[in-house]
Amino acid sequence: IVDTGVDYRHEDLTNVIYNNPGETGTDSQGRDKRTNGIDDDGNGFVDDWHGWDMVGNDNDPRPGNVHGTHVAGITAAQVNNRIGVAGICNVARILPIKCATDSPVAPSILNGYEGIAYAAALGASVINCSWGGGTASQAEQEVISTAIGLGSVIVAAAGNSGVEEQLYPGSYAGVLSVAAVGSNDVRASFSSYHSSVGISAPGVSILSTYPGNTYGYADGTSMASPVVAGAAALVRAKYPSLRPNQVVARLKATADPIDQITGNRNRNWMGKLGSGRVNAFRAVTELNPKYVELVTATITDDDGDRVFEPGDVVSIVPTFRNLLSPTTATHAVIRPIGIGSSVFVFSDSLLDLGPLSQDAILTASTPFRLTVPQNAPQNYVLTCQVIITDQSVVVGRGTLSIIIRPTFRTLNNGDLVLTVNSTGNFAYNDYPTNLQGDGFRYKDSPSVLFEAGLLVGYDADHLSDVARNETGNVQSTDFAIGIPAVLQTITASHTQQVTTSFADDGLANQANVAVDQRVLVFTDDGKRDFALSVYRITNRNTQSINTMYCGIYADWDIGPSGQNDVAIWSEPDGFYYCYNTRDQSLPYVGMQIISDHQSNAFMIDNNGTTAENPGVYDGYTKAEKWRTISSGIARTRSSVTDASAVIAAGPFSIGAGASEQVVISIFAGRSLDELRSAAERARQTAQQVLGITPSAPQTSAVSARVLPNPIHGDQLAVEYSLPGSGPLCIVITDALGQIIATALEPGFYPPAGRAILSLPHATSGAYFAVVRSNRGNVAVPFVIVR
């Protein structure tokens, strides 16, 4: 039970808690292995005799929040003991894995995928995950695939938003996602639904165990999931030779159909509640059930570019696998499902597959065919359901998706893979779901970039961007497509490039700029570990702008959820880099300004909440964006956490109607030394291909301090030091980046000096003295205490 922890002393659970045989009994010196302080079984966890706390990093997985105890009772509370409730499976043993804090009011799962990996390594037959999030990650999918490969069946909740959505881990390949129904088999109003749901189960008013020998009712797909997990445990006990995918197949094959129950009350969710409502009795007693799964599908078009545009004939060649009993007359039919799908009509929608023996894998000899209609919308995700029958009886269901008229393209030179969209984003086109695109991958790594977006502006009130907004749940949409992304392969120069153009709407709070973007990767040996992103920024204002900045916000997830990453600005190298501190097999990544502009850099702890580190979990405001792109080399190192980084060029001047070229490189390597080599090759290549003179790495040319600090009165002094006389200005900003005072007006100043000013109206809090010069910028934090 990967959850908030389990009360393993509960009267109805204490006798069904799993005891790790490698950490129980006595050791060679006669000591109790449970408490001897030794990792007796050598799995990396000391004294984990009855589970583990993944957040507290100790061997006491008691809750926290009540959620995990309630889930555990549904699956396996002791039966026939005249106490409390009865779990679904009477032979299961519960392995409590706590992935939450000790707070009783905090149900959030923090290290769930580490918990899944631990459970699988310890030999869990079934892993229940009554939790999830709306974003996908290749690294997390690899954890799931590894756990299944070790023999675990993984069951997860479909979500409680009451809308059509994909929740993860439930929607990962190989996981059995569970929707919730009421006692009448109608979808519960709160239950999410989707074509990725595999099965449904009761999830309304479920009575189960609560900590402290108590009991209570709860609703949710969190309650439906352990019902199915318990049924999976029964199947594993009855049929121990079945593989994990065969256990899932048997549960689906023996589920009671609910799509067309009396009154057709589930008609709005047909194909999105799975194979039906789980039937544990049928799952363990039915003889010779049949289940054929859709394994994969090869999708092509008649012009061979795999970009599905109006008029293209799309061919879908599916591959099937029979997981259970043999079939004799197998057929497959495909149909579009979902809002807006009625305009898509298959010309060839039925396939004759013939007989299939158990474990047979068959690739169809003829394809499903579809012509993309002229009125198809951009980036439309066409979801199709494939229904498999044997002698007209349904023996399997599967879904596949096709993105129609995509406005993004993926560069791939064999080592580096990078998706570019048509509005200034890298990696994915559909934050935060992240299914449209291939992310950023290096060699054999999963995608390590969760989000990246362009920011262009000249103050906090005139900034256009496509990074996550102040809610954190969606991205800003300041840029609109001008010319959609086009992918070209240029054989003569051994390059691939994506070109696109976009612009903001010129609204009062925007920068009023147009952007032409070209992103290049190279196929030559020695040049396959970097990409060059070239931006031509055009000022559409009627006046010159002297303080323009152009940068990229990037949220790196190197490893599952990116929880062990660190982002660092390297002053000698003139770039920032990010890497996973625990897994050295994952790549180092970095970014640098190559064009002849000053660099600005800000390393972010995503969970930060202080003035010094604003964080982005609570959103990324325009003021925070402005501060992170315009404060010089401001915050040079993140904590070891889920980290983001910002790099920007500026300030630079653009006349009215004029343009400025900014070049930023993205690069990767297996070590910091390899990263340095990639960065240097990117600079050399930019000089050769683009004809520019790369900027030299910046040193700390500017320093400053605020006296006193903290400040208890009204007056303060800002002392500065420059390498020589030159242009300079000093402003005071609040924690959100808003200018509240000017210490030195823009002008030409000596190499060292002091500015004295008074802030009689400033309230207690955190502030910054921002020193800007032609040799760099610096932001010095200080505190006012009233």
- Active site residues per annotation: 3, 67, 222
Taking the C-alpha atoms of residue 415 and residue 530, their distance in angstroms, rounded to an integer, is 9
Residue 661's Cβ-side half-sphere holds a number of Cα atoms within 13 Å equal to 15
Taking the C-alpha atoms of residue 307 and residue 402, their distance in angstroms, rounded to an integer, is 10
Which residue type occupies 692?
A: I
Q: Read off the DSSP letter of residue 753.
A: E
Report whether the peptide linkage leading into residue 169 is cis, meaning its omega lies within 30 degrees of zero: yes
Query: Hey, what long-range contacts does 711-717 have (CB within 8 A, 24 or more apart)?
Result: 711/759, 711/782, 711/783, 711/784, 711/785, 712/785, 712/786, 714/758, 714/759, 714/760, 715/756, 715/757, 715/758, 715/759, 716/756, 716/757, 716/758, 716/759, 716/782, 717/754, 717/755, 717/756
Let me know if 726 is exposed, middle or buried by CB neighbors in 10 A (0-12, 13-18, 19+): middle
Taking the C-alpha atoms of residue 555 and residue 638, their distance in angstroms, rounded to an integer, is 12
Q: Which residue has the tokens 């549960």?
A: 251
Taking the C-alpha atoms of residue 132 and residue 155, their distance in angstroms, rounded to an integer, is 11
User: What phi, psi does 649 have (nearest 5°)?
Assistant: -100, 140
> What element of type H or E holds 380?
strand 380-390
DSSP 563-597: TTEEEEEETTTTEEEEEESS-TTSPEEEEEE-SSS
At 354, list the tokens.
């013939």
Angle between helices 244-253 and 221-238 (to 10 degrees): 110
Report whether the peptide linkage leading into residue 96 is cis, meaning its omega lies within 30 degrees of zero: no
At 762, list the tokens.
């400033």
Which residue type occupies 250?
A: R
Q: Which residue has the tokens 């790369």?
A: 694
Contact between residue 189 and residue 162 where contact means Cβ atoms under 8 Å apart: yes
Q: Which residue has the tokens 């702008």?
A: 545
